[in-house]
Amino acid sequence: MELWYTEDQNNILRFSYRVNQSLHVEKTPFQHLAVLDTVGFGRMLVLDGIVQTTVWDEFIYHEMIAHVPLNTHPNPKKVLIIGGGDGGTAREVVRHPRVEKAVMVEIDERVVAAAREYLPELSVELDNPKLDLRFTDGIKHVAASRNEYDVVIIDSTDPVGPAVGLFSREFYSQVYQALKEDGLFVAQTESPLFNTDVLARICKDVGAIFPVVRTYLACVPSYPGGLWSFTLGSKKYDPLEVKPEIIPALGYRYYNLQVHRAAFALPQFLKEALGQG
Amino acid sequence: MELWYTEDQNNILRFSYRVNQSLHVEKTPFQHLAVLDTVGFGRMLVLDGIVQTTVWDEFIYHEMIAHVPLNTHPNPKKVLIIGGGDGGTAREVVRHPRVEKAVMVEIDERVVAAAREYLPELSVELDNPKLDLRFTDGIKHVAASRNEYDVVIIDSTDPVGPAVGLFSREFYSQVYQALKEDGLFVAQTESPLFNTDVLARICKDVGAIFPVVRTYLACVPSYPGGLWSFTLGSKKYDPLEVKPEIIPALGYRYYNLQVHRAAFALPQFLKEALGQG
């Protein structure tokens, strides 16, 4: 008997992963949660039927969402992570030597519980003394913060379900206020190929609030089409002017100085869609 | 009734595309050939059960395999294309203003016939007067050529079946001899994530023959994992030293100067696998 898990993309494309066994399935107060042990990609976290991460390729997404903003800011002492319940982003943030404190705000405690039990490679630093883990609404936390964070990382699910408010212009304004005067934030902003309009709208919204707005890309095999976008809004520092001497040697698997710079080179169709053509 | 086409990857991963209709299926003397009309990606060419290209995303692969080498060479007058039966690479090559003649050597005439009939967006330039289209074995053609080409582009299928000889060290030596004294070549060299060993072996082989060897990447959604590699071997010109002023304005959809440079930034795991870490 073979077990397969299939992710459906709008009934036009499906990704199927052969599964050794289903380790955990539950309906949380916020979403459907599953952890599968796949043959090709190790353990996999699935929320509302969408693959969030796999042990095999998670390093790409987590290094790129964490180290690009952390190394853009010369002194990212205090960091806020919104979402990121699997722990992968927190793991990358707390190992950065200039981070003194990271607050992680995850709305769904059950995701963290599942990660602690089934995804030790990702959740390994969730008890790190630098990390303050809170289970509450990231939007409310941000709205209650003023001039507090050097870096905010929005590691959310897609803009449907619990994460939809994290993609709004109003939320980006609240993030602006939560940041210190030289702060910056980054958010995962979907596929530049399948969700070009979403990305273009986000860039416009962020650009209306932050003086510096930059989109960068990485190829994440377990996301549809591979190509994935992140959008960075900054009050002062430009990620294109990253200083090589401040990048700590952390044994990265994907990230390095060249990758940091190259990630901001956008394909021509995307430059044009974002009004940079 | 819904029709789906499924590509299987070693029985651990499957990509399924919803299909409006199957336009053409045949067994050629060299391989199994199908053209499908998909719902999400337009028409799709499938050889031996592997998706080769789709009308939706072919511009990424074809621009990157053609314009990176063509714009690395200051005067790519005479170009050889090995394979590329769908016509996409030839289309990009002949529209480059400094290309005077392109010889395209495709082993399987039936692929070209199918592309002419079903993939007009790709085959549109196959009757261009700059193009000399021959149906023969690329290995034999290269072995019979001496000091003849400025640029050789190896646009092959995977290193199984008819293309296997195009991935051998012996073949790269023959390509060296077929090139002029300042010539260069590029080949598609598989997934850096799934076929890291193949890529590392190719780089080593090319590096033993050519003074300049560089690997570059692009994200091709219809290839497994998205991330895809190309390897460039050059007798003289270094693609990292591309001169902005020689890049013709061709209305690219993916390629531009920044993308050209950024494509050579390799993720850390790949630098290490290629001995560049």
If you average pLDDT over residues A187-208, what whole number do you get?
Answer: 96
Confidence band for A148, pLDDT divided at 50, 70 and 90 = very high
Nearest to A189 by CA among A207, A176, A177, A179: A207
Question: What pLDDT was estimated at residue A162?
Answer: 82
Tell which CATH classification among 2.30.290.10, 3.40.30.10, 2.30.140.10, 3.40.50.150 matches the domain A3-54.
Answer: 2.30.140.10
Sheet holding A227-234, edge to edge: A131-134, A101-105, A78-83, A149-155, A179-188, A227-234, A212-219
Tell me what pLDDT residue B179 has: 98
Q: Are B19 and B37 in contact (CB under 8 A)?
A: yes
> Which of B39, B41, B219 shows the shortest C-beta gap to A219?
B219
Which residues have a Cβ under 8 Å from the Cβ of B99 and sit 6 or more positions away? B70, B76, B77, B78, B79, B93, B130
CB distance A125 to A94 below 8 Å? yes
What ipTM was assigned to the predicted interfaces of this complex? Answer: 0.96
A268: chain B residues, CB-CB within 8 Å: 252-256, 259
| pLDDT for the residue A206 | 98
Q: Which amino acid is at A265?
A: A
β-bridge mates for residue B240, sequence order: none
Nearest C-alpha in B relative to A260 = B265
Residue A160 pLDDT: 85
Name chain A contacts of B259, Cβ cutoff 8 Å: 265-268
Among chain A residues, the shortest Cα distance to B14 is held by A16
Comparing alpha-carbon positions, the chain A residue that sits nearest to B221 is A225
| Confidence at residue B270, expressed as pLDDT on a 0 to 100 scale | 98
Per the CB < 8 Å rule, is A262 touching B261?
A: yes
| Predicted confidence band of residue B161 (pLDDT cuts 50, 70, 90) | confident
Residue B230 clears pLDDT 90, i.e. is over it: yes
* CA dist., res. B223 & res. B229, Å (int): 11
Angle between helices A169-178 and A196-207 (to 10 degrees): 40
What are the tens digits of pLDDT across the range B25-58? 999 999 999 999 999 999 999 999 999 999 999 9
| Minimal CA separation from A230 to chain B, in Å | 15
Q: Is the pLDDT score of B109 beyond 90?
A: yes
Interface A–B counts its CB contacts (< 8 A) at 126
Q: Is A28 helix (H, G, I), strand (E, B) or coil?
A: coil
CA distance A23 to A32: 14
> Per-residue pLDDT tens for A233-277?
999 999 999 999 999 999 999 999 999 999 999 999 999 999 987
Q: Which residues of A are known catalytic residues? A: 155
- Enclosing H/E stretch for B167: none
B268 and A261 in contact by Cβ < 8 A?
no
A159 is in an annotated binding site: no
Interval B79-100: pLDDT, tens:
999 999 999 999 999 999 999 9
pLDDT by residue (tens digit) across B250-275? 999 999 999 999 999 999 999 999 99
pLDDT at B114: 98
Multiple choice CATH, B58-273, 1.20.1440.230, 3.40.50.150, 3.90.550.10, 3.40.640.10:
3.40.50.150
Q: Which residue has the tokens 């007798």?
A: B235
Give the model's pLDDT for residue A175.
98
Residues from chain B that touch A196, judged by Cβ atoms under 8 A, are none
| Of A161 and A5, the one with more pLDDT | A5
**What end-to-end distance do the CA atoms of chain B give, in Å?**
52
How much of chain B, in percent, has pLDDT values that exceed 70? 100
Rounded CA gap, B240 and B242, in Å? 6
**With 80 as the cut, is the pLDDT of residue A103 above it?**
yes
Please state, in angstroms and as integers, the Cα–Cα distance from residue B41 to each residue in A110, A196, A216, following that order. 37, 16, 24
What's the confidence (pLDDT) of residue A161? 82
Dump pLDDT digits (tens) for A33-85. 999 999 999 999 999 999 999 999 999 999 999 999 999 999 999 999 999 99
What are the Cα distances from residue B91, in Å, to A119, B110, B209?
47, 18, 29
Task: Output DSSP code: residue A125.
Answer: T
Structure tokens at A271: 């430059």
- To which H or E segment does residue A8 belong? strand A3-9
Distance CA B182, CA A76 (A): 48
CA distance A135 to chain B (A): 33
Give the separation between CA A219 and CA A240, rounded to whole angstroms: 19
Domain boundaries, chain B: 3-54, 58-273
Name the binding residues of B.
31, 62, 86, 106, 137-138, 155-158, 162
B226: closest chain A residue by CA = A226
- Chain B hits for A261, Cβ within 8 Å: 262, 265
**Which residues of chain A does B6 touch, with a Cβ-Cβ cutoff of 8 Å?**
16
Inspect the interface and report whether the beta carbons of A221 and B39 lie closer than 8 Å. Answer: no
pLDDT(B226) > 80: yes
Q: Which of B57, B108, B150, B155 is catalytic?
A: B155
Q: Average model confidence (pLDDT) for chain A? A: 97
pLDDT of B277 reads: 77
> Smallest Cβ distance to A261: which of B4, B41, B265?
B265
Average pLDDT over chain B reads 97
Check CB contact under 8 Å for A261 and B262: yes
